[in-house]
Amino acid sequence: MDAKSDRADRLRGEAGNPALHPVMTDTAPPTAAEADDGGTEQNASGTPDDEDDVLIDTTVSTGGDGGSTVRSDTVIESRNLEVHYGDEQALKPTTMEIPERRVTAIIGPSGCGKSTFLRCINRMNDLIDGCTVDGELRFRGKNVYDEDVDPVALRRTIGMVFQKPNPFPKSIKDNVAYGLEVQDMDVDVDAAVEKALKRAALWDEVKDQLDSSGLDLSGGQQQRLCIARAIAPDPEVILMDEPASALDPVATSKVEDLIEELSEDYTVVVVTHNMQQAARISDKTAVFLTGGELVEFDDTQTIFENPNDDRVEDYITGKFG
């Protein structure tokens, strides 16, 4: 509880500081623009230009709003959320509730809007020219598309990890510390780096080489480094877009274990093409199908063992997609 209020206070204190913009716990480094989606030029826009911008109103969840018992477990909620790129609809009206401190998987064939939906959650789509978002995406009850929400602060609270590991060309320590330092957080950097690396299950492998370049690590280690960088500023939600698809089976297994562990402390939303992976690591699964339609969202076990929709069954059993 206290930690949450502290975090809210800290975030409020940082509101509207344009210098913070390039950081974003989304870990979006220069190379993130190369991520498969293209066009996500992390530093291109989103700088808060209004000093009065407020952050996500965490009081919605911490202020004892007694009426929200039904949704107390829900941290992210989309309501008729729609996305267009120019005239093309990429996401049909989507309504879904994502539970807190669980792993929610998003699966579906290529081009069905998985990344598009994920990027709505921390407003990364703002950075794509021609992208329009309609409907609502609520984080702790507050529509993140409201004018008074600072997208930069939002992205610190809702961090992101991409498909391709993208460490900065800096030391391991500096990669993890980057978010903390640029945010000017008043913390013991060494301790915070150690904590994040431990949480990312990388500490034992790198503790004696913290000054070596992050780029010298293996692909799997680099991805865990990126996860450490994302969690160092202590976000509440971690979005992952196919975080293991570029990794070998051993590294994949480590990342999968890590995702499950992280869900004890964070809400994790993970896009994956790997259905076995979704079945293994997630509590909830959303199935999108071609055309940007959310066809079914339910407990993972139900989706994989007894889906409602025939199209989901066909997709899961490999009949199409």
Ligand X SMILES: Nc1ncnc2c1ncn2[C@@H]1O[C@H](COP(=O)(O)OP(=O)(O)OP(=O)(O)O)[C@@H](O)[C@H]1O
- Binding to Mg ion by CB under 5 A, coded x per residue (else -) over 95-134, reads --------------------x-------------------
- Binding to ligand X by CB under 6 A, coded x per residue (else -) over 149-188, reads ----------------------------------------
Least Å distance between CB 195 and ligand X? 32
- Binding to ligand X by CB under 6 A, coded x per residue (else -) over 35-74, reads -xxxx-----------------------------------
What sign does the CA torsion over 179, 182, 184, 187 have? Answer: positive
Contacts of 173 (CB under 8 A, 6+ apart): 190, 193, 210, 211
Closest CB to ligand X among residues 18, 291? 291
Q: Exposed, middle or buried: residue 119 (CB in 10 Å: 0-12, 13-18, 19+)?
A: buried
Least Å distance between CB 192 and ligand X? 32
CB atoms within 10 A of CB 276: 10
Closest CB to ligand X among residues 108, 179? 108
Strand 88-99 and strand 131-139: the pairing is: unpaired
Partner from ligand X, Mg ion, none binding residue 238, C-beta < 5-8 Å depending on class? none
Identify the CA nearest to 223 among candidates 249, 203, 252, 196: 252
Q: Write out the binding residues for ligand X, residues 83-102 only, by CB under 6 A.
A: 85, 90
Q: Exposed, middle or buried: residue 306 (CB in 10 Å: 0-12, 13-18, 19+)?
A: exposed
Tokens 């990429």, residue located: 90
Give the separation between CA 219 and CA 303, rounded to whole angstroms: 31
The count of residues interacting with ligand X (CB under 6 A) is 15
Among 25, 58, 94, 115, binds ligand X (CB under 6 A): 115
Closest CB to ligand X among residues 56, 131? 131
Q: How far apart are the first and last CA of the chain?
A: 44
Interaction of residue 77 with ligand X, rule CB under 6 A: no
Stretch that binds ligand X, among 54-62, 70-78, 104-112, 206-214 (CB under 6 A): 104-112
Least Å distance between CB 279 and ligand X? 18
Least Å distance between CB 293 and Mg ion? 16
Closest CB to ligand X among residues 128, 227? 128
Q: Which two tokens stand for residue 283?
A: 């509590």
Buried b (16+ CB within 10 A) or exposed e, 73-96: ebbbbbeebbbbbeeebbbebbeb
State the residues that interact with Mg ion by CB under 5 A: 115
State the residues that interact with ligand X by CB under 6 A: 36-39, 85, 90, 108, 110-116, 128
